Amino acid sequence: MITRRGALGFAAALGAGVAFDHAALGLGRTPLKGSLEMALPFALRSLDPHDPTDPVAALFGGAVFDTLVTQDKRGFFPVLAEALPEREAGATMLRLRPGLRTAKGKWLDAKDVIASLKRARARGAGPLLDPIGDPTPHPKDTRAVFFPKAPSSMAVLTALVSPLCAIVPRDFNPREPDGTGAFSASLAAGVLTLARNESAAMGPSFLDSLIVREAPSLRESLRGFEVGRGDVCWLGTGLFGGRANVESFDLGAVAHVALVASASAGPLARPGALQKLVAELPRQALSHLGLGSLAAGSSNASYDGAPIELWVEPSPYLQEIAEAIADVLSQKDHEVTIKNGSRDEVAQKRTQGGGLSLSLIRPIANAAGGLAWLEEPSRAAALLKAGKGASPREATKGLRVAVVGELRVAGGKTGDLKLLASERGGWDLAKSFMKKRV
């Protein structure tokens, strides 16, 4: 089996211009067989790598989509790119590997790179891509693009390693996701099916398939696992009784859960006011939701302003968090009322005035950048430009945003399932596998 070190060596060879047969383009994974099932309390309706507020992308995007380049502790290396970007005639040039196609068989060229980055910029990657400008096609090479405004190759690398800059076909539809990752993806009736992608750019997954079903609540996802349904249990085990051969896991955070006050939210719209209120929420009110480290809070936490709406998309996990917050803060004549809307509707309420909103936010270069983007994309750009590395909760002191907690990839799993961690946090489903059952 090719190791990760071997994969890096192969990538370096590509960067040096060594020719390889297309069939040998897999970079480090050998199928081992095995299928998984799990039920998670998330709405499974779309999968959009360019949307920083998409919970499904935060959890599964890395298994389905690839970026042009990536980074680990040893530095940068190419993924979909043939080599790391180079300076040429005062611009930065980058070329795709030959023979790239998506799980659905679509061949990729420079037009797909340009369309992907344009789409990414429009959704959440603007603070990352603005410093390097828009790519333009090479006049003689259908696999190459130029970044004529990029100040350096390093600036291009820094932007393009973000999962928000994943490359997808130019006609991409998040309800019918398609990418070059280790798995193909399909969505239907609250079920996400990931199947081994034999044409994956970095090599196919170890696993044959992964079926993710939408659970109506956190309790139901726990209950199903403990009566023997599924291989992974979200956030915990033991609520309803024991199940043999179960192990706990915690692979870290992939996003933050944040509360945002619109500009019309009265006193809560003052910078830092919302984070101060959230810090007073009693720990026991949120501890069952697996949000990571929480402040002790106060038994006297309450909201004393005018009645206010709390908007959230109808995804079971986010809904439960919103309900826990509203239950603590509401009191007579100062009610916090939950309202459901689509993700686009919640974003509109957040920016155009609609009380409070609850969203998940992935990092935009860093966690602080994502939190600033929730309030106003231009704030995120300013924060990144200044190079500030404030902790998430510290960053909110100047924002109308509060960190409620983390979205952590944690819970219980069957003992024969080996979940591998991603260097970015969360799981690396492409390299995870089922141990041989004796």
pLDDT of residue 60 exceeding 50, the answer is: yes
The type of residue at 133 is G
The CA distance from 189 to 360, in Å, is 23
The CA distance from 17 to 27, in Å, is 16
Q: What is the pLDDT of residue 437?
A: 55
Sorting pLDDT into bands at 50, 70 and 90, what band is 433? very high
What are the φ/ψ torsions at residue 259 (nearest 5 degrees)? -105, 135
pLDDT of residue 253 exceeding 50, the answer is: yes
Whole-model pTM over 0.85: yes
End-to-end CA distance of the chain: 21
Within 19-77, residue ranges assigned H as helices are 55-64
Q: Return the percentage of the chain with pLDDT > 90, whole number.
A: 73
Give the pLDDT mean for 226-241: 79
The type of residue at 220 is E
Q: What is the pLDDT of residue 379?
A: 78
In 156-274, beta strands by DSSP E = 183-188, 191-196, 209-214, 232-234, 246-261
Give the pLDDT mean for 149-156: 96
The set of residues, in sequence order, having a beta carbon less than 8 Å from that of 20 and lying 6+ positions away, is 10, 13, 14
Q: Which of 18-32, 97-111, 160-174, 366-380 has the lowest mean pLDDT?
A: 18-32
Kindly tell me the burial class for residue 252, based on how many C-beta atoms sit within 10 Å of its own C-beta (0-12, 13-18, 19 or more): middle
Domains and CATH numbers, the chain: 4-17+30-206+415-434 (3.40.190.10), 253-409 (3.10.105.10)
Overall residue count recorded for the chain in this entry = 438
Q: Which of 45-49, 250-254, 310-314, 434-438 has the lowest mean pLDDT?
A: 434-438
The Cα-based distances of 416 to 36, 204, 224, 226, 422 in angstroms read 11, 20, 18, 16, 19
